[in-house]
Amino acid sequence: MLHLSSDKGPWFRAKSYGYGAGLPIKPEGWAFLAIHMTLIAGVAVALRNQPAVMTVLVIAAALAPLPIYHARTEGGWRWRWGRSD
């Protein structure tokens, strides 16, 4: 129930270079990242004998939480060229 957390601040630091979220800066971010990685690995292991289904579901599991990463990244997602950005 991480989305019900009373903390409305960012969970992830913005990337220094490129687009997207960087590493977590709060325990909620680390927990969310761990759950996300565990979900992807679990789907891959559970469906290892069905490669087509596994591929589709691993991609879905990888993309599904992107709105949460986006919403919880400090400064939002935009292209960055370094710390001066």
pLDDT digits (tens, 9 = 90+) for 34-74: 999 999 999 999 999 999 999 999 999 999 999 999 999 99
DSSP tally for the chain: helices H, then strands E: 3, 4
- Sign for the CA dihedral angle at 69, 74, 79, 83 comes to negative
Over the range 58-72, which residues count as b (16 or more CB within 10 Å of their CB) and which as e?
A: beebeeebeebbeeb
Is the pLDDT assigned to residue 85 strictly greater than 80? no
Asked if 12 and 24 count as a contact pair (C-beta separation under 8 A), the reply is yes
Confidence of residue 5 (pLDDT cuts 50, 70, 90): low
